Each structure stands twice: as C-alpha cells, then as structure tokens.
Amino acid sequence: MSRLLAALVAVLTAVPSVLTFGGPLPGQIKNLVTFGDSYTDVGDPADGGQAWPIYAADYGQFNLYPFAKSGAACSNYLTDRPYPPVFEYQIPTYVQEVYNGTLELNPYETIYTLWIGTNDVGVNELLTGSQTPGVTLVNTTQCAVNWVSTMYGYGARNFLFQNMLTLENTILYSKNTYPNRYNVAPHNATEWNVMMTEITNSGNLLSRLMLENLAYQLPGAHIGIFDSHGLFSDMYNNPAQYLNGTAPLNVTGCVNSCVYAVNANLSDPGVCTTAHGTDRDSFLWYDELHPSEQADRIVAREITGAILRTSENYTTWLS
C-alpha cells in the first residue's frame, strides 16, 4: 500500500462513522424551529401536558422557536380547514419575523422540523373525500416536501422531516372505535382502519422518495427523515419499553376518553373518563387522536438524539 493511500485510509477511519451519513455535526445545532399541527403546537398542547418541542429544547439545550398550530394542514388550497396552515400562515409568519429583525438565526446552527399530514389525510379531508376536488395523497405529500425547498429558499439548511405516525392505531381510526369528539357519525370502522393503514404507509413512502430526489437538488442542505411511524409502531407493540405509568400499560385506550351517542351534538357532554397523576404515563394516546405526554417525551428524546447525533434509531439522513 502506498504511503498516500495509507494516509487516506487513516484519515477516513479517524472520522466518526456517524458523519458518513450526512446530517449536522454533533454539537452544531443550537436552535430548533418547529412547524406542523397539534402534534407539535406548544401553545395549545394536545397531549394534556407539554408538547414534545418543549421537552426536546430542554433535553438538547436548544433555543426553541415554535410556529406549529393546532388543526393545521399543509395548505388550505388542498384541504380547506379553519386553522392556520403551514404554507398560508406558518411560513409567512416565520418570514415576517426574519425580515423585520424579530428573528435572527444562524442557519448553520439551526434545524427546522415539520410534522404534518394528520389533518390532511383524516376525517373531513382525504379519508372522507372532503378535500378540494381533484386533490390526492400525492398532492398533500408533495406539499409537505415542498416545505423543505421553500424554507431552503429562505436560507434554512438543516431539516428534519417527521413522517406520519400510525394513525391506524389511534382510537379514531381503529377497528374498535366509538363515537368520540372527532367523529360521531356512523361509519365502517374496519374500512377506515384499512384505508388509514394504506394512506400512512403510502404517504410515508412517497415522501421518502420525493425527499431522496430533492436532497440532490439542494447544495449544502442536510435533510433527515424522522420515522414517526416506526417509533409509534414500536411503542404500540412494545409498550413496556416506553410507557412507565402506575396504571396497567394501555395502547388501545387513552388518558382522556369521551364517548358520545351516534350523531350526538358535540356541544352536549359525552361520557368522559380521565386518568390522573402518574397513571397518565401508562397510555400511548392522550385522546382519540393525539399522543400522550409520555409518548411525546419519547418523541422528544429520539429527535434530540438525532439532532445531537447521539442516536440514529429512527432517523435517516439523506444529505
């Protein structure tokens, strides 16, 4: 072996293996900027406690800049909803703060996350045919992926794209659902469960393929995919590894359950039961659609590990 080749091999083997897969360097990220829906909204947390970005900011000692809003879809032009969408509200709000000097972030030290799709594909939208005529899963997925290229155009360089979790395992879309705060209309629960399984798996594969293609088109960008679907599937199948409450572990019920009569008026109180104290941490779900606070702690832990480059359990860096 020549001296030059030997020296090259020595240099390559000295580089930490984690760096060979792209992504930001360990210790590089100081700022966390979040976009999305109720799964990520820190001002209106849907887990009955603190949303995952609060925990992630604490675990990783990041400065947190949250823009996610409950009820949001990617774009109201695709799935019209009376809530602040990513493209028509959240991104413009971020841009305005950057341009007026309210927000000054070093792009090298900042990572941007997006967790969207739950409202786009669910009841009253794609699942029930209520989206803008002609809009498909391809359109809503492309919209989410376009968030990366759009934010890149505004100077962002580090991205973590969170795919859709196992919506088919939530109470709302399970085979054993009941009339709840998100849907009281009668429906074929088995059909919804099968359809949501197809939607989440197909949408996540589409987004991965689109992001893999995009990664080569954005010089200097680091794009990672956080596998929310894989993480929640593992929590569902192996709850003892993640849930630590004082009640029996529960992945099919929820902390705050409200049962209504079929076609009930939601302004009327349903029959509600709520777990309290440390019993709450035995549940995967907070209500019929949203993860529990304990599940969000796990999300925060895994995302923090991905950003700090201490864990790659559920993250793939494409660039």
Is residue 266 in a domain? no
Q: Which amino acid is at 270?
A: G
Residues 6+ apart with CB under 8 A from 67: 33, 34, 35, 90, 91, 93, 94
What is the pLDDT, as a whole number, of residue 312? 87
Is residue 206 in a domain? yes
pLDDT category at 199 given cuts 50, 70, 90 is very high
213-244 pLDDT tens trace: 999 999 999 999 999 999 999 999 999 999 99
Instruction: Report the distance separating Cα 97 and Cα 288, nearest Å.
Output: 35
Is residue 250 in a domain? no
Is residue 286 in a domain? no
224 contacts 315 by C-beta, under 8 angstroms:
yes
Is residue 79 in a domain? yes
10-37 pLDDT tens trace: 433 333 333 335 899 999 999 999 999 9
Torsion sign (Cα): 95, 97, 101, 107: negative
Q: What is the CATH number of the domain that holds 118?
A: 3.40.50.1110
Is residue 242 in a domain? no
Interhelix angle 228-237/293-308, nearest 10 degrees? 130
Is residue 236 in a domain? no
**Model pTM?**
0.93
Instruction: Report the distance separating Cα 19 and Cα 259, nearest Å.
Output: 49
What is the pLDDT, as a whole number, of residue 19? 37
Q: Which domain holds residue 139?
A: 21-229+292-317
283 contacts 254 by C-beta, under 8 angstroms:
yes
Percent pLDDT > 70 in the chain is 93
Q: Which amino acid is at 21?
A: F
* Count of structural domains, the chain: 1
pLDDT category at 7 given cuts 50, 70, 90 is very low
What is the pLDDT, as a whole number, of residue 1? 38
